[in-house]
Amino acid sequence: MRGLTPRREQGMADPVLASMVHAAGLETARHYTAATPKIQAYRDSWVKLAPLRDGPVNPTRIEVRDPATMTEQIKAKAMELGATMVGICRLQPHMIDLGEDVPHEFVIVACVAEDYEKVVHGANAVEEEAMRTYAKCTEIATELGIYVRNLGYPARAHHNGGSEVQAIPIFYQVGFGELGRHGSLINEEYGSSFRPGFVTTDLPLVEDHPREFGVQDVCMNCNVCQLNCPGDAIPQDHVITRGIKRWLIDLEKCYPYSRLRDEYCHLCVDVCPYNVKSHPGTYKAFMKERKQVGYKTPKSW
């Protein structure tokens, strides 16, 4: 199946970031060179696991008589490996990177929730938590891919060490939530404080379905992320993609705060009121701190 959705290159391969970095007289983004040893170790961990994304399939295939039972087994395995949420849907062209070919029928997404409490400990604590979570997701996707291949079905893990699938359309399709104004998917329980790993496969499974709980309507009137963005990168107006509202972040305005400084930004996600449900006390304390320093002030300013 050939993909249809463009993926923006990451890091200095992104021409927008490269031109801004060079215009500032730098060789690379300050944010990348300022990584702590712990963050660098997390980044190294997914590079190390990249060769295990795909591999030999057990020639003795188990027969799947009941896809519902197999689905329960796969979800239980993902949870046992450390996932917080697991969803499954049929792979569709818009879930795959433009120009890539993924020859599988289903995609399994395993997400790990971040510890939102880190928001009160500064930008580096938030970034370390994000990288820890990505590293965990990489482990889960890798192990789950091996598990499925051992059942006799092809499976490929997709994570920070290599991926051909798009997170947001998959999150939406499995019912994790809806796309928010800040450009991340919002979950009822975890806000946008979670990270994913994926496995594409031909193992017969049962699909989950989209679940809407009013996020896009709330985002039309909320604007808290927009009002807190240091770079004013979150637009007022949305576009429509496949019937879904999308607020496309202006990278030229985002990058000076998220890439050209030493510290992480992440404010748009941290101030989202959907974090209240899981962490009411922390959210209130964090927003009090934002008020004191000035809502648009970057972290560690």
**Contacting positions for other proteins (CB under 8 A):** 2, 4-6, 15-16, 19, 93, 98-99, 235, 237, 239-243, 246, 248, 250-252
For other proteins, the closer CB: 15 or 294: 15
Q: Phi then psi for 260, rounded to 5 degrees?
A: -90, 0
In the complex, minimum distance from the CB of residue 217 to other proteins, in angstroms, rounded to a whole number: 16
Q: How far apart are CA 46 and CA 28, in angstroms?
A: 21
Distances (CA, A) of 133 to 230, 235, 260: 25, 28, 23
Least separation in angstroms between CB 32 and other proteins: 20
Q: Kindly state the smallest distance separating residue 90's Cβ from other proteins, in Å.
A: 15
User: Of the two residues 81 and 96, which places its CB atom closer to other proteins in the complex?
Assistant: 96
Min. distance of Cβ 13 from other proteins in angstroms?
Answer: 13
- For other proteins, the closer of residues 80 and 101 by Cβ is 101
Given the complex with other proteins, which of 116 and 255 has the nearer CB atom?
255
Question: Least distance in Å: CB of 233 to other proteins?
Answer: 11
Strand partners, 86: 110
Instruction: Enumerate residues 6+ apart whose C-beta is below 8 A from 228.
Output: 267, 268, 271, 290, 295, 296
Please identify, using beta-carbon distances, which residue of 107 and 249 lies nearer to other proteins: 249
Q: Which amino acid is at 60?
A: T
SS3 196: strand
Terminal CA-CA length for the chain: 46
**All residues at 6 or more sequence positions from 301 whose CB lies less than 8 Å from its CB, including other chains:** 293
